[in-house]
Structure formats: C-alpha cells, structure tokens
Structure 1
C-alpha cells in the first residue's frame, strides 16, 4: 500500500469545503458519481467494487456518536469509537459469494507511514466467516449477510487503536486465482476513531452512565469563577459535536508531534493537548494574554463558547487571540470530550503559583512591614515572585495509569495555561489525584506543581540582614491555599449565574481536610522529597503575636453601591501597643495581580491592654466604576505593623462587583423546523448611557455563535431584544447570552431550550 497522509488532505479539504458542507448540497453530486461508476463496472466479468456504504448514521448511533454534526452534514465521514463493531455494505458488480467466488481485503491506515506492527495499519481478509474470533485488542472482520450483489460486513476495532482519522481501501479479486486481476478502491471517506469510555477494555473506561453523559456527551456547562467564598458559574458552550471541532482536533494532534502509533495512549494524548491549547511553544490554539490590552484580538472575557475559537483556528491555521485560564480549560474540555476522553472543568479558588517548586508560597515584607512587590530587588533570584490567584481553572481527565503503580488511575489533572515548563514545553499533567492527595511528588507528571496549587503553605518573610539569606521567617499559614475546588456536577445545568444547585465541591478529592493529621502528612511527605521545601519547613517562625486582627468579609457588592473596608484589632497583652495601618483597595486581575489602585488610607491605632478598636475606609461607586477590569474583582488589603513587637499582619478581602443577570424568555413551544421567538432583557444598573452595545449568543445544535449589535441603552433604562431561533432537529440544549458595551460588560444569561418533534 502506498503511504498517504490523511491529515493534510483532511484539513485542506475541510477548509475549502466548509461552506459547501454548511449548505448540505453535495449529496446529488456524490450520487451522480456513483451512478457513473456503476455503469462502468456493470459490463465487466472480473469482480469489481462498485461502492461501499459505511452506514454513518447507523454506526454513529451504535457508538454514541450520533450527535456529531459531521455524521449528518457529510456523506464521507464516519465517527466511531474503538473497541466497538461497525458495519459496512460492499456492493460488487456481480453476485456476492465471498466464501467461494471472490476474495475481499480491507485496508485501514492511519498516519503518514502506516505499519501493521506499529498498530497503524490493518489488513483484513474477508473469508466468509460469520463470527468474530480475535480478542478485543485486535482487528477482526466477519460477514453478517450476503444479498445479491451486496455483502454486509462487520469490523471490530481494537480497544487500543490510535485515535484520529483513518483512511480505508478495499481490494477484490477472484478467489484461489493468484494471477487474477485485482481491483483496488481507495475511498474518500474519513473514518474518525475515538476513545471509548463505554468499553471496559479502553484506557478511558468510565463505569457510570450518568458520568459518561456529563463528562463526554454534555455540550454546555459551567466554568466557576470569582473569589473565595463568593463564587459563580459562568455558562460555556463547549459544542464538541460541531462540524468544525473534530477536524480542528486533528490539526492540533498533527501539530503536537505525538507519533501516530502513540495516539491511542490517553496519557500521551492528554499531555500533548495541554501543550497544544496554548501557543507558547508551537502553533497552538490560543494566545494567552493577561495585561488588559486586547485591541488586536478579542478580550478573553468576551468568549462564551469554544466553537468560534475552534473554527477560526481551523480556517486560519493560526493561534486565536486571546485566552486566559478559563478559556484554555473550556476549549481543552471541548477537545477532550470530542475525542472521547471523559473531561471536566475544575476551578481552584486561592490557587498558588509556586515559581521555585519549594511547596511554600513566599511573601516578603521590608523592615517596616510593607509588602515587597514583584519588581522589587528582594524578590526571588529569578525575578519572579510566588503568587496566589483568586482562582485558576484547569481540567480533570479520566483514565487508567498503567505507567504508575496500582491505585493511581481515575481523575488526572491536565492544565493548558502556560505557567511553567515541563520537559521543556508549556504543558502540565496528567497528574493523578491520588498522587496529589498523598504528596507523591515522585510520580509523573507535574505532581509537585499541582500539589502546591492546592495545598501549599503561605510563608511570610521579613527583611533582616542579620540572618542567613537576608530574611527571617515570621509566620506560616497552612490553610490559605486551595480554599475551595469546584466543578459542575453531573446533571442538568442551572441557568442562573449565581445558582449553586449544579456545583460540586471536589476539594476532598485533591487533599485531606485542612488541619487534619492526614493533610499535614501529605504536605510533609512532599516536602521531604524536595530540598528547598525541607529548608523552609525546618526554619522556625519568629513573630511574637499578641494582637488579634480581623477584616470584615463582604459578600458581592451590587454595581453602583458603596462599600466599607473595616479592620478590627484587639490587644491581648498587658502592655500598650501602637499599630501602623495601611489600607488599600484595588481592582484586580483574577491572577491576583493589581490592575488599578482605587483608594488608600494610612493610619495609626493606639491600643491599651485588652482594648479593641476599629478602623474603616469608605469606598464609593465613583471611586471604582471606571477602574474595574475583567471579572470585576476588587481586593482590599490591610497591612498592620506593631511598633513594639515583630508582629506583622496582612489581611485581605476579595469581593466581586455583582451585575444583573440577563433574562431570557422563550415565547412559544420550541418545535423542530419552526421559528421560536425569544426575548432577551435586563435593567441597566448604572446612571450612564450604554453605547457600542453587542449581544453574543450561542446554542450548540440550534444556533451557531452569533454577534448582534443593538441600540444604545438609556441610564437606568431597560434593554429588550427579540429574535427567532430556527432549530433544525430535535435536541435539548442551552442558549448562552452575553452583553457587552463600552460602559458595562460581561452581563450573562442562559436558558434551557428543548426542541420537540414537529
């Protein structure tokens, strides 16, 4: 068999033919071609293959693949799962008798250099046998039925077959006549073979059907954002069944550098995908950017789904601008689910970024108790400081881990956000949950980094030239990191941004409860394996602490309202204490980096023995409204330095400015192939005219991503917009809507859409 590269053919053909595919007008052309072939072969006495029907819809339904739009919109695409059987109907130019008259061979090829020994090619002789005889990890074939000139053939796909696009050829000749003329047909059909979580012999096998429905087949979900403890679910249209997604996945896999024979290993495939969703090392899917300057692309907060990103990448073959962690994770979730790997989006609130893999997160203060910022010369030698993000989003994928000791399979962390390199590339995982929980930093991949994200201690250092290294350890906080780890639980998606009925707390899957002996054993087990961590954990704290501090913890602040930063101090000693206080309020990026200072107040508190006092700072709407950035996060930081002792205290309160949800009303029953009127509305909460207004809408399976300009909205006025949905098939999906303007952005809403038969 000559070598072919199906990937280049696939991408070129898809990009050139995408709009034609949308119009669904190729069926007549294909039918005419087949008629010509039939007439040419009918007069021949030698056996020839007239056509092969791969029965894409029938096979897709059997393989849980019937929702892939490629199956409905293209006649030359078959979507299957490995480990399953699929049928094909072969039509010859003469009466079929495969056990006596004709000899039929099938060739399945994968990658640029197909090879039987490497598992990237299969040669199947259709001998006329009617049973499958080989084991689940091998190709096999049987004849199900012979009827006139047609034979129905069933093929078994190995459970470890490489995942991707396979090409197919068939050859027929007279049986038992070595010199007889052979007729070979290569088919344009692309056979997508995916992972199979329904098959117990597949490395991605997930036993529970409810979990498979959620983590493989659900195409709309949530990404949890905000700051601990005030979280909310952001709706996202994953859209893994869209007809642009699988071809885009193939392009990413081809560019990943993973050899064709290794693409059946979920460990290697998931690790490669964590690299390919970012563009730092290669022509990956998304360009990451965190500086707030997005004029030459789209702001990360203005994406509401993966389909537009995936199709743009496929059309242009260039990285899409821009993404941040929740966009990386949501797109990676789309890709994994499209390929058949069970996957979920996970958010870690108060997520540590440990730059030197020491396990503690280091915060530095000068002699006066003021925090040393990142660009100060006292930061770590690399010039990069440890940090704690308000939240960080990654993915869990489900798989067995034959490369690890028993007991470390199940959920594995992969992270596409480019933070640190691993094996020379910006990739992360798969890291076993169980390895993270036990502190087994010796097990691959990237367990130390993920462990620090969810369970690092926060160590505060004060400048002191009299000690080795120039800093003395003051305090250690053991419960400031990994405060809450959330994912969307299996089941219906709640359609209110702040509803909590569909969130699942999975913190316990990553670590034992904070403060328990098991939790300390886990972190100390990891520390013993890391030299820098051993040094930190062995150093004693030096602070004398006799003042009790607390900062008022606020809930969300409705946009337009004022709020107060309140500090309470109590002197538990028998001596007078004087406290220097610095209170600051700033808008924040979700990474914990400051965007704009909103307000600052310096003061002093004089405390008699056993006395309690408060200090407050009022923040007005006029102070903060023009300084908000993505996610509308505000952080209040209070730094206190006790003059008479070495005690230094830093407290913070993270809050999110709350904006109204968008109201979506479906005005009539949703029936297939009939217009469905909907109304979208919200009340403008601020006393400003909203200009440059745009609605972004997405409803996988019903409506492709759409941007709709709308008229200006008056101060404190009401926005109302009406339009029709035009569902083309019976489906249950969710309509996701986002509103943006120059003055007010990232208002969101969602509504379940159930389309019934006509």
Structure 2
C-alpha cells in the first residue's frame, strides 16, 4: 500500500473567525484567540492505518523550541487532552478529517507556523500548513485579560469607533475617533511594533518569550506608540507650529497614522489624545480590552512629591515651572490581571504613551493599577506615584515679588483630577469614573490616602526624574513645596470667575470676576487680571488683554467685575485648541492674596452632514457637507477631509472655494458604502481662520 500523503488542507478561516470574534480583521490569514480551539481540515490520499500517526506542530520565532515555549508538539488524539497545546480528531468524511487544535491560554501572542508531521511505514514527512495569528482572549476565563461582561467585551475589544472628551472641565466637548483595529494592515503593523521595540532589538529571544504576558505587551506598546526612544509611531509637538507635519487636531483616527508609520517612520505630529487613540487601537487589535480616559485638570508632578508648584508675579502673570496642570490629559486603561502585584490590584490598568516622564529609562507609563492609585500604594509598579499626582496632587501657588522673593499664596487640595471621563458602553455618552481613581474630595479617606501616599514616597529611593521634552520649560529658581503643612493663609475674602457655556469661535467672551467680603468690616481689594490664549497644557501662547481694578467691599458684600474679550481681540492669538484663559491675582490691604482662573473653550463653527437617500451597500450615495460661516469676514483656503470605515478608502480630501461672511456653503460628495450595518462618516474642515471643525454622522447601510 502506498505511503500516507497529505494532499489538501484548509485552516478554515470562514469557520474559525466567527467563533473567535475575529471575522472583521481585513486579512486572509487565520486569526484566532488563545485558549480556544480552532479547526483544521486535512485530506489524505487514503484512510489512515491504526499504526500511522499524525502530529501537529506550531512554531513561533526564528529558533522555536519546546523549552522556550516557542514550539508546541501536539500528537493527534481521539480524546481531549489536558496538555496546554493539544490536537484531537474531531470528525471524518471519506479521506478528509477535521482536527481541533487547542492553544495554551498562556501562549505567546503573534504569528505561528502550523505544520503536520505524518509517520507512515517507518518514514516521517512534514508539511507546512501555513500561518495563523494568535491573540489574547478576553472570552477565555483563564486568560489574564478575561472580561466577564459581554457588552463590555463588545465595547472594549470589538468596537472600532470611540469618543474622546476634550476641552476644560467647565466646558468640554467630544470628538469621535476611528480606532480601526480591524482595518487592512493594522494587525501586521501592530505586530511590527512589538518586533521593533527596544527590548526586541536588544534580545529578540527573551522579548518573544515575554509576549505571553499582557503586562509586558502593554508596556512595550505604550513605549512604541511614541517616537522618543525607538522611532515609534507618533512624534509629539506642543509648539503650535506644525508646518512640517500635520496639526494634531486634524487627525480623526489611528489607521492613517499607523499606515504612515509603516511606510515612512515616525508621524508628525501628535498630542495626548492622538497617542491615546493609537494605543487603544493596537491594544484592542491584540485582544487586550482597552478604553480611552480623559482627566480634566490633570497634573504633571516632576519632583515626585505630589505637590504641584505654580508661580505668578504680582501682576498675575504666570511664570515658568516644570510642574503643570493641563486642562485635560488623555490616556488609556487596559483590563488585565496583575499576577505580579496580587489579585486585589487586577482590573483596569493605566497605560499612557504620551512622553511625559521616563519609566525605567524609556518614555512610557504603566500598566498602573487603578486600585493601587486609589489606595495610595504609590510604591507599586508601574508608575503609580505619577498617576496619583495626575489625579490627586495638591496645587501650591507662589507669588514672586519685585525683589525676587517668593511668598506662598495658598494650597488647593481639590483642583486636580476632575470629571475623569470615558465613553459609555454601547453609546456615545460620557461616564464619570473619578471614583475609580480617588475617594471623594473633602472626605477623610481622601486626605488619609494622600498622606499615606506621601509617606510611601518618602520611603522610596529618590530617582532622577527627567523633564518632559514636550511640555517645555526648565524649572525656575524658586522654592519647592515639601510638606503640605502648615497650610498657606486663607484670605477672608473669596473670588471666582464665570464664563458663559457654549461659546463659539467669533463670539465675544464675557468673563466675570466675583469678589466677596467674608467679614463684618469693609475691605479694599485690588484685582490684577490677565487674559491669554493657551494650549490645552496651559502653556501661554499670547497675551490678549490686561486689566487692574480696585473695589471697595462693604461687609459681606459681593461685587462682580466684567471683562469682555471680542473676536478681533483674540482671533490672531487663539490656537487650534480654541482656549482662552483669564487669571486674577487679588490682594487686600492686609496683604492677603487670592488667585483664581478659568478657561473658556470655544466651540468650532457649525458643520453638518446631510444624506437624503437610503444608504445601500455597493450603491453610490450622495453626501452634502454644510458649512456655516458665522464670522463677519470671508473664510478662505478651506480644506475638507472625509473618512470612515466602510465608506471611504482611504480618506478623501478636497479644497473648497471661499465661504463668504455670514454665508453657508453646501459641498456635495459621492461615496459608495462597502459594508452593511451601522457605520460612521467623519469630516474635518480647516481654513485660514478655522482650525479643524469636525462633524460625524452615524449611518445604517442596508444590504442590496
């Protein structure tokens, strides 16, 4: 009888992909999740004899070996095996057999070669069956990324479209972000990021052996999404000058960024929400549940004491400091167990690709346990002290006198870490997750945890902390706060700003400073007010106006001081962040001082997407983009970009004619949907006067 020969085989992507929740990956390659069986069909030239054996072999890496867990040898059995990798004969029809391959739930993720060894008549032959890609498995209970709730898995692993919240805590907005983790080439690019990491270049074998751990993979990706140490994906730029690249506000998603990196190297430019959007894409692509988080009033503590020092001169002008508080900062959370820390520290972990501070010599952050942050366990890996300061540091304000001396104005224990936000499961609504990071402000628990964190930091070995090259200034020669006690004196008058909500570019901005005498005696208070344009990191771009005013306050009287800034005042100062800041340094006749500030975030001009016919797959669809110009001057050199998975491949752009003052422009496009279901169309418009106005439309595309 002739030798047993394998004549045909099929990795059965059409069968396996739906079962593994991988059918949306735009690839012909089999993509499966670890710890879950997948089927392989094999056809032979004849039936097998009892003495003939079949063995499947899976290999990963250039020098696979069983000892290093980069090779799995799986003799085919008729019954289910308890070994981490196994192969069983599931069914047969004629000379075709269906085999079930089960991968280890702790297997290395990445590309494997699958082969079949046939032993017949004393001879052995091996046939390469092809390549498959193995991912983390949030559906497998023993996988470290297991997530129990099915709607959450659908949101944090399978959803390609997200919402990122931006602005300021008193005036925030949302922008859609196309993660596109299933789009063409994104899986290949994500695996390439792992291959090009610093650790992979230093010791490829050791690096590969660690890719079974989500902690390690998440940490590598948080480093590779920025370009600071390793020619990773995104080059940061907070200067306001983006002439040699793309303004960060123009990006609508990760796909174009990742494809550009693959072709040309680091992409110019990005800021925190861009880093977070790209990191969310690659985490979800590999099967690690991930979501994007926005922390309003986010602190950057450079000297590892949880105190954020701010300096002002007597006129209320902000001076340089290496500590800072950003209007908002965006990072990621990944869902995973922390076997290295213990069961109580599992769940959501902070990962941040924005290059703020180096972690073990490389610009990356995390994974950092939210449980560790909330409980003040700032000594735990990775970077818990830094995240704690971001969400719960204390601000200490100083005033620099003309003689060069500094006076501590007061401390603010509640200003940092507000409205910590993420997208809701199954909708575009905002969910407040502040309670995951800290106990309620003004509570005994919050102060007890803060003091606990300070004690733990004091017991840690102080390491050199490098400045963030993105956020700029070196530390000024000024005192640094070491202890929150004794507190700075609290003045017996109060003050705060108000500004209207829903302001739009072109509107006048009416700031009002409220001052109130809290005593039974009259009081004279002088307010030095300064209005500046800023970027979202609160770095000042340009002064817009100044005003000094003295008011006489009767006992318990409250007065208000209006300060109006018109479009002509700010139009040449405002940046793509559309933020204007008002600061007031107030002092009474006793020398007691109060500092208060507020940020007005202006909405962009109206942009609307209109569709007048029923969208049907593979049928041309007319889309009208309506742009309203509210300004009393023409908008010129307009440029519109449209993109959307299943609509536009890749993105589509067009230069638009001048839009006259106070007029509306209708721009017609034709797109052809290539997918059915609920899809998103995203539009970005920029011009000489308007920066990155955005709109999106959720559209249901029917089958033919």
> Normalization by structure 2: what TM-score?
0.92
Pair 1:725-2:671 in alignment: yes
Task: Give SS of 1:626's match.
Answer: coil
Asked if the contact 2:164/2:293 (under 8 Å) is kept, the reply is: yes
Indicate which of 42, 46, 50 corresponds to 2:3. Answer: 46
Whole-angstrom CA distance in 2 between matches of 1:532 and 1:205: 35
Q: Deviations over 1:41-97 (max 9, x none)?
A: xxx943333332111121111101111111xxx3xx1110011110111223x1131
Tell me the equivalent position of 1:680: 625
For structure 1, the 5+ residue unaligned runs are: 1-43, 375-383, 494-501
Asked if the contact 1:49/1:183 (under 8 Å) is kept, the reply is: no
Task: Give SS of 1:68's match.
Answer: coil
Asked if the contact 1:96/1:102 (under 8 Å) is kept, the reply is: no
Pair 1:123-2:73 in alignment: yes
Task: Give SS of 1:358's match.
Answer: coil
After TM superposition, the runs of 4+ consecutive aligned structure 1 residues lying more than 6 A away are: 532-535
Indicate which of 506, 510, 520 corresponds to 2:433. Answer: 506
Tell me the equivalent position of 2:409: 474
Task: Give SS of 2:296's match.
Answer: strand
User: What number of residue pairs does the alignment pair up?
Assistant: 677
Tell me the equivalent position of 1:348: 295
Whole-angstrom CA distance in 1 between matches of 2:62 and 2:456: 43
Aligned-pair distance for 1:283?
Answer: 1.5
Aligned-pair distance for 1:206?
Answer: 0.5
Indicate which of 172, 177, 186 corresponds to 1:236. Answer: 177
Whole-angstrom CA distance in 1 between matches of 2:274 and 2:484: 39
Tell me the equivalent position of 1:744: 690
Aligned-pair distance for 1:370?
Answer: 4.4
Tell me the equivalent position of 1:410: 347
Tell me the equivalent position of 1:248: 189
Indicate which of 410, 422, 433 corresponds to 1:487. Answer: 422
Whole-angstrom CA distance in 2 between matches of 1:596 and 1:535: 29
Whole-angstrom CA distance in 2 between matches of 1:326 and 1:544: 37
Tell me the equivalent position of 2:236: 288
Mean alpha-carbon deviation: is it higher for 718-727 or for 430-439? 718-727
Aligned-pair distance for 1:652?
Answer: 0.9
Aligned-pair distance for 1:575?
Answer: 5.4
State how 1:90-489 maps to structure 2 within 5 Å.
90-92=42-44, 94-97=45-48, 100=50, 102-126=52-76, 129-135=77-83, 138-174=84-120, 177=122, 180=123, 182-187=124-129, 189-256=130-197, 257=199, 259-316=207-264, 318-365=265-312, 368=314, 370-371=316-317, 373-374=319-320, 384-462=321-399, 471-489=406-424
Tell me the equivalent position of 2:24: 67
Tell me the equivalent position of 2:40: 88
Aligned-pair distance for 1:200?
Answer: 0.6
Greater share of residues in helix: 1
Distance 1:698 1:101, change over 3 A: farther
Whole-angstrom CA distance in 1 between matches of 2:263 and 2:95: 42
Asked if the contact 1:474/1:541 (under 8 Å) is kept, the reply is: no
Q: Deviations over 1:340-385 (max 9, x none)?
A: 111000000000011111101112345x4745511xxxxxxxxx52
> Normalization by structure 1: what TM-score?
0.86
Task: Give SS of 2:193's match.
Answer: helix
Distance 1:637 1:730, change over 3 A: same
Task: Give SS of 2:275's match.
Answer: helix
Asked if the contact 2:47/2:95 (under 8 Å) is kept, the reply is: yes
Q: Deviations over 1:175-194 (max 9, x none)?
A: 5x1xx2x332234x331111
Task: Give SS of 1:331's match.
Answer: helix
RMSD value over aligned CA atoms?
2.3
